Structure 1
Amino acid sequence: MMKNFNTILGIILIAILVGCKDFEEYQSDPNRTTEGDPGLLLTGIEVSNLQEVTLSAALACRQMVYTDGSSSSQYYSWQRSGFGAYNNLRQVIKMEEEAEKTENANYLALGKFFRAYIFLKLTNTFGDVPYFNALQGAEGNYSPAYDKQGDIYLSILDELKAANALLNENNGAIKGDVIYEGDILKWKKAINSLSLRVLISLSKKEGNATLGIVSRFQEIVNNPSQFPVFTSNEDNLSLTYHNLDGNEYPYFNNNSIKTAYYLDESYVNLLKSKNDPRLFLLADKEVNGKDLENDDFNAYGGLDGSVLLSENTERLANGNGSPIDERYYNDPENEPSIALGYAEVEFTLAEAAARGWITASAEQHYYKGIEASMLFYKISQPQIDAYIQQSSVQYVAQQGIEMILVQKYMASFMNSGWEPFYNQRRTGFPEFRTDGGGVLNDGVIPKRWMYPQSEINDNLSNLEKAINRQYPEGDNVNGVMWLLKEE
């Protein structure tokens, strides 16, 4: 089925996978297909929204360092983001409209999933956003009110639950699906796995009776036949690339990633401290290690994302710094873009168990998460077993949540979009270094992005109400959104 859509994918990917370097790349302009076929629209929606390979997130998460200039993501000097994701949502609405014409309810279920997926990005970026009355331009509402983040999260959870219930083999074939080829069970797993992501992101809201996050989490975990979730890497919600024009890995033949991106030393040292074989697949040897074997940890080193650019260029001149592995720019297929993966689900289950939300072994889910990540990189089972047996990796209950979040972070290199940043923002794990002298924003990691200039121009009254309601000190990157406040 993938081959049937190569032309479509080529057109879409050329539009959305051009090498951008700031946060806007994850809100790319959508495919603008107007064909009256929900399958064609679904293809564009999938490709537009599930491309989660982003260098800007890797910079912000202290996994990568940029050396050709001062990156706002690396130095935490970002300001505004955009509302481009609403254009993606318009494509979802078109798909739903065509699905109603063809009386295929399965596309409506996928519409609910993608609404949840896209709105989750929007609210994680800003806080309150237009939700219930958004996208009503056809009805004359060009200035929608902003809805509270708590209400948005509650609706997202309800929509995902409804999507799971609506998906059914009897509702019609899903065509144009370049992710699961119309497999209903796999889509149900993706929907419920996304629900687990949403619920764990609400970990500070255990006391919120309206949300009922613990009971919702338990309902999914305790009823696998009704609410299946990922059970292997075969279930990953991921976009696969191909050695065909327009279908290649997003940084294939990208000169910038080839010459200006190096691993952050905190990430390298984390992997080295655990003798982690994934390092050899993510990085190439630094100049100072060129005469050592490829599997010698001493051959690898990093730069420091928190210091001045001049210090990193000097370190490069002295032979320090491992560049990103050449496969990221030489291999047109490289690896799939994981939007939501099995490893993440296992780490989420581990965290939920460590918090006492579910009756399960946090330790076993933690090990399964590690194994899933390493199997994704085709690391052998004996190597995986030896890795897990190390004292630096063995699960310690008293440090459980930190260990789980650190391994979840380690598994997120060049995948999962901004999810590792949001996990760190929520938990503080792992710690991102900011004291090197180069970090702006008074050395503080931002909590959010400011609202787009377009809203100041076109929807100022509603925008000001939302800002005043959430951020007493005004619209700024350090404002603490509802999601991050304990209840």
Structure 2
Amino acid sequence: MKKTFYKHLYIASVLMLLLAGCTKKFDEINQDPNNPKTTDPGYLLVSAEKKAMDNILNEWNNGRTGMHYAQYWSATTYSNESRYQIRENVNNTFWNIMYAGTLKDLNEIIKINTTKPFDYSVNQIAIAEILKVWTYHMLVDVYEDIPYKSSLGGLERPGSQYDKAIDIYTDLLKILGEQVTKLDVSQPSFPAKTDIIYGGDVNKWKRFANSLRLRIAIRVSDVASMGTLVNKAINDAVTSGVFTSNADNALFRYVDAPPNNNPLNESFKSRVDFCMCKTMVDYMQDTKDPRLPIYAAPAKGSGKYIGKAYGLNQQNGETIPNSAVSLPGSAVLDAKSPGVYLDYAEVEFILAEAIERNILSGSAEEHYKKGIRASLEYQGVAASDVDSYIAGVPYNGGQWKNVIGTQKWIALYMQGLEGWFERLRLDIKKPNGQDLFVAPVDGSLDREVTMVPTRMTYPVDEQQLNKANYDKAVQSIGGKDSKAGKHFWDLY
């Protein structure tokens, strides 16, 4: 009986070991390969970078919003957006991609590296945090108050509270200052193939973070209560190291074939909804700007550069054939034309402005000229044309807002949202003080906006799914969710 008992005990033990081994194997087999429990942080970074750039560069948020509001482009047929009648589904999509797309991916990178840290985790977390700052900054400048603290650790969801834009700005500058010190150039970050912007180069990410501090700080430079913070952020950024050439530009590099080609290139394959705006073409012709043949194509009917009046109604706009006006140039619509997060030319214009505001010391004129040169060289203008153009647009410190502003506006071409923000902040006129921008020729379709929207209304989804917090946000920004509501930094 003892023999039988021990024999059965031995068999039972072997079976238990086998079952345990099989269970482990079954767990591995039963994982859905299309929905893995963890994702490589590198692939999440590619996803976050592409979603963000596609979202701000596409025909909807760039073409029909930013490029119109900055008066870079006019509409060929469907002109209602240029007269400020927005498509609510587009507004919803912009918001959702930023929160449920880019920010979700970046938060997941941070979560993975925090749960199981490696040598490269500090740099991966810092890079994700820097891109989060860029994303939140874009959102807050489009809408003003937005859900911020409630979405720092994950997906923004119905019920999220809104934070004051001025408080968000303060925190964004703080985060960038912290992450710059955490970036460790002696350690790896992301594999080169999974970081489309910088190929995992930690030094370049550090310069990008510092340059982004400049953009954020200068935007609130008119806000007296933020003076000390602005001064410190700009000086610390310059000391730590900002962009010094076009080699530092933060770019998303597209390729020839869809779905990874430039989104505007893809849009223009099937239809032509945009042409050059008269505002931009006329000004560039007046100053003999050598970038015009790059930014625009000659009108097919005349061979001349002709911009279309801004804000014609659809009927009037349709009576002007596309052959009679200039379309965007082939270079800016090329399949591989990169999307710009931030570039060296903008940094130089910010430095010039910071000197005029007595935040930095030095020559504003020198940085102004460097900004123009950087823009022309990036666009491939012949070296022989660069110096003559700079000489033809001399610096005038007495009109520095207009002088710097007009050149910054031209350099930001194709970055429609940024061009719009700078138009609002600097109230740009021509260097001689004459008006540069015009109201829509056939009038605005928004009763509260005459000249240009100063913010975007909140998405309809927020009004329906997050009503209590939406109502509080509306009260916080002046009691009305209007495209005429001004940002806290837009004081003039």
User: In which range does the TM-score fall when normalised by the shorter chain?
Assistant: 0.7 to 0.9
- 1:121-166 CA-to-partner distances (Å, cap 9, x unmatched) read 111121111111226679x985122111111111000011111111
Bigger radius of gyration, 1 or 2?
A: 2
1:75–1:38 distance in 2 versus 1, CA, 3 Å: same
Aligned residue in 1 for 2:182? 166
Give the equivalent residue in structure 2 for 1:21. none
Within 1, Cα distance between the matches of 2:74 and 2:36?
37
Provide the secondary structure at the position in 1 that maps to 2:163. coil
Structure-1 separation of matches of 2:71 and 2:258:
32
Task: State the match for 2:124 in structure 1.
Answer: 107
Evaluate the alpha carbon distance shift between residue 267 and residue 258 of structure 1 in structure 2; reply closer, same or farther with a 3 A threshold: farther
**Helix, strand or coil for the counterpart of 1:203?**
coil
- The residue number in structure 1 matching 2:244 is 231
Contact 1:412/1:420, CA 8 A, preserved across alignment = yes
Q: Is the 8 A contact 1:35 1:41 kept in 2?
A: no
> How many residues matched?
433
Residue in structure 2 matching 1:384, options 376, 386, 407: 386
1:274 aligns with 2:276: no
Report the secondary structure of 1:386's partner residue: helix
2:73 maps to 64
1:177 aligns with 2:195: yes
> Does the CA-based 8 Å contact 1:258-1:324 persist in structure 2?
no
Unaligned runs of 5+ in 1: 1-31, 291-298
What SS is found at the alignment partner of 2:74?
strand
Matches within 5 A, 1:37-48: 37-48=40-51
**Residue in 2 aligned with 1:424?**
423
Q: Quote how far apart the aligned CAs of 1:325 are.
A: 1.9
Query: What's the counterpart of residue 321 of structure 1?
Result: 325
Q: Residue 449 of structure 1 is aligned with which of 456, 463, 468?
A: 456
SS at match of 1:241: coil
| 1:404 matches 2:421 | no
Contact 2:80 2:313 in 1 (8 A): no
Match of residue 481 from structure 1: 487
Q: Aligned AA for 1:198?
A: I
Per-residue CA shift, 1:34-75, capped at 9, x if unaligned?
743211111111112234433121122111111122231x11
Kept in 2, the 8 Å contact 1:309–1:438? The answer is no
Query: Contact 1:50–1:238 at 8 Å: present in 2 too?
Result: no
- Of 409, 434, 438 in structure 2, the residue corresponding to residue 433 of structure 1 is 438
Contact 2:104 2:154 in 1 (8 A): no
Residues of 1 paired with 2:419 and 2:339: CA distance? 15
Take 2:394 and 2:320, find their aligned partners in 1: how far apart are those partners?
Answer: 34
Q: Distance in 1 between matches of 2:76 and 2:140?
A: 31
Give me the whole-angstrom Cα distance separating, in 2, the residues matched to 1:77 and 1:259: 20
* More divergent stretch after superposition (188-197 vs 200-209): 200-209
Deviations 1:180-238 (A, max 9, x none): 111111100111111100001102213435x62123212222x1xxx211111111000
Where do 1:297-336 residues align within 5 Å?
299-316=304-321, 320-329=324-333, 331-333=334-336, 335-336=337-338
In 1, are the aligned partners of 2:75 and 2:317 still within 8 Å (CA)?
no
Q: Which amino acid aligns with 1:89?
A: L
**Any idea what SS the aligned residue of 2:149 has?**
coil
1:274-294 deviation per Cα after TM superposition (whole angstroms, max 9, x unaligned): 11111111211114423xxxx
Flag the 1:207–1:236 CA change in 2: closer, same or farther, 3 A: same
Q: In the superposition, relative to structure 1, how do residues 34 and 283 fare at CA in structure 2: closer, same or farther (>3 Å)? A: farther
Matched-pair contact (CA < 8 Å) for 2:440–2:451 = no
- Residue 340 of structure 1, CA deviation: 0.5
Q: Distance in 2 between matches of 1:34 and 1:370?
A: 49
**In structure 2, what is the equivalent of residue 12 of structure 1?**
none
Q: Which moved more, 1:229-238 or 1:76-85?
A: 76-85
- Partner in structure 2 of residue 16 of structure 1: none
Distance in 1, Cα, partners of 2:483 & 2:234: 31
**Segment drifting more, 57-66 vs 341-350:** 57-66
Structure 2 contact 72–416 (Cα < 8 Å) conserved: no
TM-score, normalised via structure 2 length: 0.82
Q: Check the 8 A contact 2:107/2:153 in 1, yes or no.
A: no
TM-score (norm 1): 0.83
Higher helix share: 2
Task: Answer whether contact 2:158 2:462 (CA < 8 A) is retained.
Answer: no
Please give the secondary structure, in 2, of the residue aligned with 1:339. strand
Identity of paired residues, percent? 27
Query: How far 1:300 moved relative to its partner?
Result: 1.0
TM-superposed CA distance for 1:245, in Å, is 4.1
AA of the residue aligned to 1:344? E
Q: Does the residue aligned with 1:394 lie in a helix, a strand or coil?
A: coil
